């Protein structure tokens, strides 16, 4: 075992400053677990951060100096993005350094080539903090559940979207109103697209799916739908039916397709209100994983923030410190499966996915309309599990019809919805939200 492991931290923002603070505050416990002294030798940052005290640690305004420093054993990449960060990580790997990163976009989009480069140089790239902040979900799937054939996983893996949907449900507010508050509180960026349109969650989902199913990272194949079109009335109707709307990332082995396949999808989802994951509110994250041996397991905690994310960053540093002297061939593989053992299972397009649906249809308040709609669904082999027919609003001859369907393949529902929208007795587009029982 080494006497000390020297690390270089690149990026001194929220997570970088959190990592410095936790390493300093908990040094005795961390070093005892690692079996050696973990020493911050150099920091690369464009500017200092008053949120942390660097003392006599060497600081460089050029982050690539950290990657080139021969004294550094582990480079910690916390600058974000996929341009400079990518070059930095490849430079560190080329120089024979291990890497710890919290960068989900970098791993999701370039992880395959990063891991291949790391394998060739005999180093490890650790990324626990890239998904769900302080929740140790990477280790749980890759190591804790290694005896299992993972059947599916579903996660609330973006705190901003979860905060918005929670406020819409509890306060009856609309999306735009809550988004402004989320931005004022610092939960959402000035440009919130990555969070509210599901891109951030898609980055995380593709990482979880690769770990769960032993498949290459394939970000471009994730179906992604955001929450910006979720209407408060649908949140209310969902509650009346015993459901809550959550923005989920779902990865599932297909159980109906003859050729198998993997579903990768991020979208608003109705979940039965009695389920634990339906009660994960505010900015908290949770991931539900179903293994064939263990059954469903739920992982809950803070999905972002300085110290929760730093917790995962430092856990990776400790793991690497423990294995620095180990033969590279005997370290835990990046995606949990040994090199050359990844599965090349088809990622299903969204129109081949099977799920249940919530439908809201605006229809004339006349006899026979519901019968026509249910007949169209029946002709498509789609059964209806529940119906709510609301009273017409004042000065309106239309009423909202709310239906919950049984499970159906999406392309069949598409065809049925097109016919429903063509009826003279319906108006506007049919609103639909996918429904999952997660059992």
Strands 98-101 and 125-126: parallel
> Whole-angstrom Cα distance, residue 98 to residue 92?
7
For 59-92, the pLDDT digits (tens) are: 999 999 999 999 999 999 999 999 999 999 999 9
Burial of 188 (0-12, 13-18, 19+ CB in 10 A): buried
Give mean pLDDT, residues 353-358. Answer: 96
CA distances from 73 to 66, 99, 343 (A): 10, 9, 32
> Whole-angstrom Cα distance, residue 186 to residue 85?
23
Rg of the chain's alpha carbons, rounded to an integer? 24
Q: What pLDDT score does 337 carry? A: 65
Helix/strand/coil (H/E/C) assignment for every residue in the chain: CCCEEEEEEECCCHHHHHHHHHHHHCHHHHHHHHCCEEEEEEEECCCCCCCCCCCCCEEECCCHHHHHCCCCCEEEECCCCCCHHHHHHHHHHHCCCEEEECCHHHHHHHHHHHHHHHHHHCCCEECHHHCCCCCCHHHHHHHHCCCCCEEEEEEECCHHHHHHHHHHHHHCCCHHHHHHHHHHCCCCCCCCHHHHCCHHHHHHHHHHHHHHHCCCCCHHHCEECCCCCCCHHHHHHHHHCCEEEEEEEEEEECCCCCCCCEEEEEEEEEEECCCHHHHCCCCEEEEEEEECCCEEEEEEEECCCHHHHHHHHHHHHHHHHHHCCCCHHHCCCCCCCCCCCCCCCCECCHHHCEEEEEEEEEEECCCCHHHHHHHHHHHCCCCEEEEEECCCCCCCCEEEEEEEECCEEHHHHHHHHHHHHCCCCEEEEEEEEEECCCC
- Whether residue 300 is predicted with pLDDT greater than 80 in this model: the reply is yes
CA distances from 117 to 74, 93, 120, 122, 338 (A): 16, 7, 5, 9, 15
Q: What pLDDT score does 61 carry? A: 96
Q: What pLDDT score does 338 carry? A: 61
> Whole-angstrom Cα distance, residue 225 to residue 264?
12
Binning pLDDT at 50, 70 and 90, where does residue 240 land? very high
Binning pLDDT at 50, 70 and 90, where does residue 392 land? confident
Token representation of residue 347: 């990622």
The percent of residues in the chain predicted with pLDDT above 70, rounded, is 94
- Whether residue 96 is predicted with pLDDT greater than 80 in this model: the reply is yes
Q: What pLDDT score does 224 carry? A: 98
Q: What pLDDT score does 342 carry? A: 66
Region of 214 on the Ramachandran plot (φ > 0 left; ψ -120 to 50 alpha; else beta): left
Quick count: other Cβ atoms within 10 Å of Cβ 220? 10
Binning pLDDT at 50, 70 and 90, where does residue 259 land? low
For 141-150, the pLDDT digits (tens) are: 999 999 999 9
- Whether residue 308 is predicted with pLDDT greater than 60 in this model: the reply is yes
Q: What pLDDT score does 340 carry? A: 64
pTM: 0.94
- Of 332 and 145, the structure prediction assigns the larger pLDDT to 145
For 422-434, the pLDDT digits (tens) are: 999 999 999 999 9
Q: What pLDDT score does 333 carry? A: 65
- Whether residue 1 is predicted with pLDDT greater than 60 in this model: the reply is no
For 152-186, the pLDDT digits (tens) are: 999 999 999 999 999 999 999 999 999 999 999 98
- Whether residue 371 is predicted with pLDDT greater than 70 in this model: the reply is yes
Give mean pLDDT, residues 339-347. Answer: 75
Binning pLDDT at 50, 70 and 90, where does residue 46 land? very high
Choose, from 204, 221, 372, 411, the residue flagged as catalytic.
204
Q: Is 419 one of the catalytic residues?
A: no
Token representation of residue 336: 């949990």
The answer to whether the beta carbons of residues 5 and 324 sit under 8 Å apart is: yes
> Whole-angstrom Cα distance, residue 194 to residue 205?
14
> Whole-angstrom Cα distance, residue 374 to residue 384?
7
- Please choose, from the candidates 423, 388, 413, the residue with its C-alpha nearest in 3D space to the C-alpha of residue 403: 388
Q: What pLDDT score does 167 carry? A: 97
Binning pLDDT at 50, 70 and 90, where does residue 336 land? low
Binning pLDDT at 50, 70 and 90, where does residue 257 land? low
Place of tokens 């000065």: 395
- Whether residue 258 is predicted with pLDDT greater than 60 in this model: the reply is no
> Whole-angstrom Cα distance, residue 28 to residue 233?
53
All domains of the chain in start order, with CATH: 4-134+306-330 (3.40.50.720), 137-302 (3.30.360.10), 353-435 (3.30.70.260)
> Whole-angstrom Cα distance, residue 85 to residue 337?
26
Binning pLDDT at 50, 70 and 90, where does residue 395 land? confident
């Amino acid at each position: 075992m080494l006497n000390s492991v020297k690390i270089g931290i690149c990026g001194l923002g929220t997570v970088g400053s959190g990592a410095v603070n936790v390493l300093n505050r908990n040094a005795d416990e961390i070093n005892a677990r690692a079996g050696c002294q973990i020493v911050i030798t150099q920091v690369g940052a464009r500017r200092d951060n008053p949120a942390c005290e660097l003392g006599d640690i060497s600081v460089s305004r050029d982050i690539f100096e950290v990657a080139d420093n021969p004294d550094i054993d582990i480079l910690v990449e916390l600058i974000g993005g996929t341009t400079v960060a990518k070059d930095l990580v490849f430079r560190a790997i080329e120089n024979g350094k291990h890497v710890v990163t919290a960068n989900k976009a970098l791993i999701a989009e370039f992880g395959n080539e990063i891991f291949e480069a790391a394998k060739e140089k005999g180093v490890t790239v650790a990324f626990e903090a890239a998904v769900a902040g302080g929740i140790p979900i990477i280790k749980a799937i890759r190591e804790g559940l290694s005896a299992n054939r993972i059947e599916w996983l579903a996660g609330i893996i973006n705190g901003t979207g979860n905060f918005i949907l929670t406020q819409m449900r509890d306060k009856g507010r609309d999306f735009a109103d809550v988004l402004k508050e989320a931005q004022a509180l610092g939960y959402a960026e000035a440009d919130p697209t990555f969070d509210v349109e599901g891109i951030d969650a898609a980055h995380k989902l593709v990482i979880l799916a690769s770990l769960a199913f032993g498949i290459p990272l394939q970000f471009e194949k994730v179906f992604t739908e955001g929450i910006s079109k979720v209407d408060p009335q649908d949140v209310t109707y969902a509650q009346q039916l015993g459901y809550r709307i959550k923005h989920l990332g779902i990865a599932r082995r297909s159980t109906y397709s003859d050729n198998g396949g993997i579903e990768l999808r991020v979208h608003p989802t109705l979940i039965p209100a009695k389920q634990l994951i339906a009660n994960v509110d505010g900015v908290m994250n949770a991931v539900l994983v179903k293994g064939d041996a263990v059954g469903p397991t739920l992982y809950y905690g803070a999905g972002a923030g300085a110290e929760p994310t730093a917790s995962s960053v430092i856990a990776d540093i400790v793991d690497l410190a423990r294995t620095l002297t180990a033969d590279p061939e005997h370290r835990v593989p990046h995606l949990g499966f040994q090199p050359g053992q990844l599965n090349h299972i088809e990622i299903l397009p969204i129109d081949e996915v099977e799920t249940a649906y919530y439908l809201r249809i605006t229809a004339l308040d006349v006899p026979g309309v519901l019968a026509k709609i249910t007949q169209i669904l029946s002709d498509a082999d789609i059964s209806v599990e529940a119906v709510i027919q609301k009273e017409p609003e004042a000065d309106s001859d239309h009423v909202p019809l709310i239906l919950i369907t049984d499970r159906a393949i999406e392309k069949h529902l598409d065809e049925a919805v097109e016919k429903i929208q063509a009826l003279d007795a319906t108006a506007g587009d049919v609103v639909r939200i996918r429904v999952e029982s997660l059992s």
